[in-house]
Amino acid sequence: MKILGKSTVSAIAMVMTLTVGVGVADAKDKVKVAFIGPMTGGVSAVGVGGRNSAELAVQLRNADPEAKYEYELVSMDSECKPNVGVQVATKIAADSKIIGLVGHYCSAVAMGAVDIYHRFNLPMSVWGAVLPDVTYANDYKEIHRVNGTMINQNEVAAKFMTEQGYKTWVVIHDTTDYGKGHDKYFTEYLTQNGGEILADFGVSSDQQDFTAELTKAKQLNPDVIYFGGLTPLGVRIRAQMEKLGITSQFQGVSGIKSDSFIEGVGPELSEGVVSFLEGAPVDKLPGGQYFTEKYQAAGFAESEEAYGPFAFAAMTLILDGIEEVGPNRKKLTEYLGNIQGYDSIVGEVSFDDHGQNTVAAITKYVIQDGKWVVWEDSEYVDGTRKLAGK
Amino acid sequence: MTQSLKDKLVILSLAVLATAFMITFLAIEEQAEIFALLVLAAVLVFASAKFGLIETISGCLSRNERLLNGAVVAATLIVAFWFYEDHFPLLMIATVLLYTVASCGLNMQFGYTGVVNFAGAAFFGIGCYTAAVLGETSVPMLMVIIVGGLVAALVGSILIIPVLRTRGHYAAVVTIAFGLLFRTFLEVNDALGGPQGLGVSGMNIFGWDFNSGITLTDDIEVSFYMNYVILALIMVMLTFVLMRRIERSWIGLNFDAVRLDETAAACYGIDIKHWKILSFTLGNFLAGTAGALYAMMLGFIAPSNFAFSDSLILVSIVLLGGMGSLWGTILAAGLVVLLPEKLQAIQEYRFLIYAVVMILILLFRPQGVLPRGLRAYIPGWRG
Amino acid sequence: MDVGLLGQFVVNGMMLGMMYALVAVGFTLFFGVLDVIKFSHGDVLMVGTFAGFTTYIGMTAIGIDNALLQLVGVLVISIGSMAVMGAIIARYLVLPLKSAPPLNTLLVTLMLGTVLREAIRLFYPDGSNPKHFPALLPTDSWAVGSFTLRADSAILLLAGLLVIIGVNVLINRTRLGLAIRAVAQDEETAKCMGINFKMIVLLTFALGSGVAAFAGVMNGLYYNEINFGMGLLLGVIGFSAAIVGGLGNIYGAILGGFLFAGLQTLGAVALPFSSAYKDVFAFAVVIAIIAWRPTGLIAEKTSERV
Amino acid sequence: MDQQKETVLAFRGLTRRFGGVVALNEFDMELDNGQIVGLIGPNGSGKTTSFNVLTGIYSANGGTIEFLGQDITNWPAQKVYEAGVARTFQRSRLCLELSIFDNVMIGNHKRLNQGILFNIFQRKALKAQIEENYSEAHKLLKIFDPALAEKIFDPVGSLRMIDRRRIEICRALISHPRLLLLDEPSAGMTHEETRELMDDILEVREMIDGLSIILVEHEMGMIERVTDKCIVLNFGQKICEGAYRDVASDKLVQEAYLGGE
């Protein structure tokens, strides 16, 4: 009952602030934009980080005196479940006051929801889901994606790792769409680059103990253990490798590129772990630094996580579009369709005819002294430090 | 004024009140208003309990079952048509209706017969996947709903032996294990779309495509979800009649006897296995049919829809409504589906609050919101 | 397969089995005294682990960095606080529902599990992300061929064994154990003989929850990683293990725990390139076993009076 | 009782063990048409066990049970009931949340149409059956207590102990069994109530042709008053058989009751 009371109070407070705000701000037209992400359950950290980032984009725009409209963010929780996702997608898409959407970290949810956006002509951009099919399995002009797909990521990863001289791999992936997709594309590109996969283990996304799989892996003695999945599992696998005395190089995917991976594994064990992420490194771009500063200044309790910048970039793009063409779904879709060479905090954005950002540069990261460092800036690049087995 | 006329007036005014409440509840978005409405509802319920109104009302209702049933159907239709062009409320209404059908299936199992089933979402899911697979074929879609139920019942028959041989917690583990197994299997096995899920074709009856809206005039376009609301309502009505008739017959009596005392039941010739199999199979059938239509309506399904927590939601609907209580199930399905949806402001706190509310209900009203009454074989008949 | 590798699998499996058994023992104890299933058990374990973790952080913050002292502190706080929590849960959630259908107790504790899980996720600092649990035990390791045994694993295995033996001795050789068994046998008679029923129930829940907290800390020390969701699956598996072994019987719980771990390991080893099916395999075997022995491998004594 | 003498039930060497304990040891017994037999003996002497073996709750480890000329040894409980054996339980086993009518109808299982399609679709015929059974149940209850018959749609949980006993007996009698097994009907009741109950049972017996009764009872006044013969069990063994007066004066029996406890 206490929580209820609090919420009521804050809701009333919210309404009051809004009323006052509108009164002061000389009554700009109000426009609604939306965000969907997983805010409960296992990957909620990423979802909340994304929502905060999207909210930051809206806050900054509202603080900008030159903005033509007053924006209101509607954010919804998909729970990373397709059925819930379809519900909230319908709710948002059917609300004609909502002009644009930044949505989806979980690919399965995105897959279920794209049909709805198309049906309701709601222009949207994906901020985190990396399954290629989200953009490529349909011709919907409403669907865009600012982040790259797992295809780009694994292409770069396979090439890079074979260039380092590694020959043999054991792949462990979770059996969600995310892990399975990574498994598929990595295997494809690795074989093209001449690497060999000794074994391939699928594990469930809530598994705690991997010693059985890792013991088998140990017997095969691969150069690299590739893990396709998200941070929680990645942490467990890296820690348990140590228990079993496995000294192979640990290679992750974008799903583990988070501070919580380092925090979870501890600085010693995480040293030398590599990962790949779409987009230019945030802190390298002028806008990126701006984002980091603003995010910290906004005082969110949670970290923005790896995909926060994408949510921010996608939301900014949509807000720019509305400023430009006005609050109209069809016009916004058209605007997004023509985006080429757009400057964002994650690098240049250009959509192809499926709405996929083609300039999705992939950045290679390595953990050095308990921090994710861009490979080219690390001590590994000149041989001061060495990856495992080198 | 005669008693019966008075009764009718009471029911009609209640129906009007409930309809108005539902429409307001579905229409408002502002969180403060939603809270206010909920508080108002709670106050009304408590106040009428305090002044003994509840007994008067329930007396009225039980004397006029036909009128009550008719009023509820009419109210649902009025609410649905009020939102004829608003997709989301219609989607929610249809979802509530389909959850009601699935929960009735579970109610048949442990509300009536006491057969524990913690894999409700799995059987619901079997219906969904059946619809996804058969949607690609030329099997008539209306048929697919039935087949969805049949497949669910058939797969359930794998569990019959362990379910019959075990009781209580042991049976719970059998179904929990099955639910986990089902989901993992779908995720690992790519034949049915794997973790990415599957698209499902929409409902289509003799060329009437459910997934396109109905254009009445240039200005009026009825949401395509209306199709699903109506079909789901028909399913609820059929389920309701089936459940009622079973309850009010010797079958229902046998179910109760099996639940309450297996040994005594056996000593009076009641074949425990026979009735358990019947109720388990029928329950799974209902869950499967609901799943099949749900999949068609959503158009997309994936294994993560059918997790243990989803089975728990179905179980909590049954328990919240009151074991074996049909009206309770309908009310609880509405609460469990709509409340979290309407309370989006509490976003990440929803699960926490939901769990706390469930605990409070189990502690302070373990019999559910609308406990099942005594069996009235023939409505209004007292010998 | 060479011997070293086999040995490795056995040790892995035993470690896993030990943890399952410790959880299953709790389930079986609660069932013994009250015929109820406390499904929040796995989440109590998780909270216990977080309590231990917080203790570690606190001790480090005030400058105690001796690993042994820290370990003792972590264990004492974690086990102690969970024992208290277990008793509180029994007092306010389980006992009030004593006369309600067993399903209600199961559900109320399931919901409590959700509350605990969500509370840690939402209110523990950065609770939604995994945490690095420190290695407080020596990490020397012996490697023979493909067999690696680390000192900490060996110590944990031994400690787990000691705890299980300890619980067993407590139940079978002490006055408290006698009282617990008396309550388990026949509540009415036990009451007549002057046993404080409520007190015994609370103590049993405290004991079971303390053991769970120990298993949680053990889990943390072994995997060096903890997260808010770790208890859910452990709870389900521990429950299944207790059921497969036969509720109300400590040996059954131990047997069930090791059996489940064995099945999972076997699944991962014997199903090459499709190890993802190992849980499907393990749960299918569980269903088959229950179909074969409806009251568990070591059958529960049914004493229904007709 | 001027029917010809016919053996309704016969135990021959009936044996049942629980682990090492022999609960029934080579128990022989015969029961004639219309007879009332008292089964007495100290606690744990095998009285209830013999009911449980007879009604198929426990299986027999040895010996046979013959009922109306049929060998019914180890038949499942359902079939034993169908054959015409109805029983009550030592601890009342009514369904407390169900109405009196429901509880009585559970006992009438074999005479009700249990067809699934009949129950769901033939509502008119079902209604007729319900009404017919209602009047029969009402009539039966009225014999025991007219007030009870008026409460036929009340939940059993709201009734006094004696009423619950009555309903349990009605549940057993409604299907017109050939053999009624009464397991300590007086438990938890006063002498007066017990007497009342027994008179009712005797009255009902007149209405059902050739109803035989086995009565397990501690209340010796009741045994004395109603039984035709008595069988005494001790440690699963029959130690004495005969009319109550003879049995009561038997040395072995006195030892079993006095010395044994």
pLDDT digits (tens, 9 = 90+) for C283-297: 899 899 988 888 888
pLDDT single digits (tens) B283-311 = 999 999 999 999 999 888 888 889 888 89
pLDDT of residue C211: 94
Say how far apart CA A130 and CA A119 lie, in whole Å: 22
Whether residue B190 sits in one domain with residue B62: no
Q: What's the CATH architecture for D1-84+177-261?
A: 3-Layer(aba) Sandwich (3.40)
Name which of B369-373, C89-93, C100-104 the model is least confident about.
Answer: C100-104
Domain-terminating residue out of B292, B307, B322: B307
**What is the residue-averaged pLDDT of chain B?**
88
Whether residue B122 sits in one domain with residue B22: no
Cβ of residue B95 closer than 8 Å to a chain A Cβ: yes
Task: Write down the pTM of the prediction.
Answer: 0.88
ipTM: 0.84
Q: What angle do CA A107, A109, A113 make, to 5 degrees?
A: 115
Q: Do B348 and A39 touch (CB under 8 A)?
A: yes
Q: How many CB atoms lie within 10 A of CB A26?
A: 8
Name which of B211-220, D88-97, D231-240 the model is least confident about.
Answer: B211-220
Residue C39 covered by a domain: yes
Give residues with Cβ within 8 angstroms of B234, minimum separation 6.
none
pLDDT band per the 50, 70, 90 thresholds, residue C274: low
Residue D248 amino acid letter: A
Angle between helices C3-34 and C250-270 (to 10 degrees): 140
Cβ of residue B44 closer than 8 Å to a chain C Cβ: no
- Chain B residue numbers touching D153 (CB-CB < 8 A): 374, 376, 382-383
Q: Find the closest chain D residue to C303 by CA distance.
A: D18
Give the start-end residues of each E strand in A83-142: 98-103, 124-126
pLDDT of residue B344: 66
Q: Do D57 and C305 touch (CB under 8 A)?
A: no
Residue B47, burial from CB neighbour count under 10 angstroms (0-12, 13-18, 19+)? exposed
Average pLDDT over residues D113-126: 92
Neighbour subunits, C (≥3 Cβ pairs < 8 A): A, B, D
Residue C304, burial from CB neighbour count under 10 angstroms (0-12, 13-18, 19+)? exposed
pLDDT of residue A19: 44
Whether residue B55 sits in one domain with residue B16: yes
Q: What CA dihedral angle connects B129, B131, B132 and B135, to 10 degrees? A: 160
C171 touches C181 (CB < 8 A): yes
- Chain D residue numbers touching B264 (CB-CB < 8 A): 89, 93-95, 106
pLDDT of residue A26: 55
Q: Check for a shared fold between A27-148+282-359 and A151-278+364-377.
A: yes
Burial B219-247 (b: 16+ CB within 10 A, else e): eeebbbbbbbbbbbbebbeebbeebebbb
Cβ of residue C145 closer than 8 Å to a chain B Cβ: no
pLDDT of residue A5: 44
Whether residue B56 sits in one domain with residue B113: no
pLDDT of residue B41: 86
Closest partner CB to A90 (pick from B88, B187, B353):
B88
- Chain A residue numbers touching B132 (CB-CB < 8 A): none
Mind telling me how many Å the CA of B168 is from chain A's nearest CA? 27
A83 touches B305 (CB < 8 A): yes
Closest partner CB to B349 (pick from A3, A107, A175):
A3
pLDDT single digits (tens) B115-172 = 989 999 999 999 999 999 998 888 888 899 999 999 999 999 989 988 888 877 888 8
- Chain A residue numbers touching C126 (CB-CB < 8 A): 45, 260, 263, 302-303
Say how far apart CA A339 and CA A343 lie, in whole Å: 10
Q: Do B383 and D152 touch (CB under 8 A)?
A: yes
Q: Which CATH superfamily is domain A151-278+364-377 in?
A: Response regulator (3.40.50.2300)
pLDDT of residue A360: 62
Beta bridge partners of A366: A274, A373
Mind telling me how many Å the CA of A40 is from chain C's nearest CA? 9
Interface test with B, best of C287, C292, C293 (most B CBs within 10 A): C287
pLDDT single digits (tens) D15-73 = 998 878 888 989 999 999 888 999 988 888 889 999 999 999 999 999 999 999 899 99
Whether residue B27 sits in one domain with residue B53: yes
Average pLDDT over residues C221-237: 88
Domain span holding position B156:
87-307
- Chain A residue numbers touching B307 (CB-CB < 8 A): 81
pLDDT of residue A314: 94
pLDDT single digits (tens) B363-377 = 888 888 888 888 888
Residues of chain D whose beta carbon is less than 8 angstroms from a beta carbon of chain C are 48, 52, 57, 89-91
B201 touches C135 (CB < 8 A): no
Whether residue B281 sits in one domain with residue B175: yes
Which whole-number Å values give the CA distances from C301 to B317, C76, D247, in the listed order?
34, 35, 38
pLDDT band per the 50, 70, 90 thresholds, residue B187: confident
Residue B140, burial from CB neighbour count under 10 angstroms (0-12, 13-18, 19+)? middle
Closest partner CB to B169 (pick from C37, C111, C114):
C37
Mind telling me how many Å the CA of A264 is from chain C's nearest CA? 4
Q: Do A11 and B35 touch (CB under 8 A)?
A: yes
Cβ of residue C149 closer than 8 Å to a chain A Cβ: no
Q: 3.40.50.720, 2.40.100.10, 3.30.1330.40, 3.40.50.2300: which CATH number matches A27-148+282-359? A: 3.40.50.2300
Number of domains composing chain C:
1
Neighbour subunits, B (≥3 Cβ pairs < 8 A): A, C, D
Whether residue B123 sits in one domain with residue B237: yes
Q: Find the closest chain A residue to C148 by CA distance.
A: A244
Beta bridge partners of A249: A224
Average pLDDT over residues C57-63: 92
C24 touches C257 (CB < 8 A): yes
pLDDT of residue A2: 39
C119 touches B328 (CB < 8 A): no
Give the count of Cβ contacts less than 8 A between chain C and D.
7
Q: Do C16 and A211 touch (CB under 8 A)?
A: yes
**What is the residue-averaged pLDDT of chain C?**
87
pLDDT band per the 50, 70, 90 thresholds, residue C24: very high
Say how far apart CA C104 and CA C259 lie, in whole Å: 29
pLDDT band per the 50, 70, 90 thresholds, residue B63: confident
Closest partner CB to A108 (pick from B86, B304, B351):
B304
pLDDT(D106) > 70: yes
Tokens coding A159: 């090439």
C29 touches C204 (CB < 8 A): yes
Q: Do B184 and A175 touch (CB under 8 A)?
A: yes
Whether residue B114 sits in one domain with residue B133: yes
Residue C238 covered by a domain: no
pLDDT(B103) > 90: yes
Secondary structure of residue A305 in the 3-state scheme:
coil
Say how far apart CA A303 and CA B360 lie, in whole Å: 34
Say how far apart CA D116 and CA A293 lie, in whole Å: 71
Interface test with D, best of B253, B276, B375 (most D CBs within 10 A): B253
Concatenated DSSP letters for C49-116? HHHHHHHHHHHHHTT---HHHHHHHHHHHHHHHHHHHHHHHIIIIIGGGTTS-HHHHHHHHHHHHHHH
The residue extents of the domains of chain D are: 1-84+177-261, 101-176
Domain-terminating residue out of B82, B106, B126: B82
Cβ of residue D113 closer than 8 Å to a chain B Cβ: yes
Q: Do D106 and B264 touch (CB under 8 A)?
A: yes
Whether residue B135 sits in one domain with residue B35: no
Mind telling me how many Å the CA of B36 is from chain A's nearest CA? 9
pLDDT of residue B138: 82
Domain-terminating residue out of B291, B307, B323: B307
Q: Find the closest chain C residue to B188 by CA distance.
A: C276
Cβ of residue C65 closer than 8 Å to a chain A Cβ: no
Name residues of chain A where pLDDT drops below 70: 1-27, 359-360
Residue B316 covered by a domain: no
Q: Find the closest chain A residue to B86 by CA distance.
A: A94
Q: Find the closest chain B residue to C102 by CA distance.
A: B168
Say how far apart CA A286 and CA A308 lie, in whole Å: 16
Whether residue B300 sits in one domain with residue B277: yes
Tokens coding C57: 């952080």
Neighbour subunits, D (≥3 Cβ pairs < 8 A): B, C
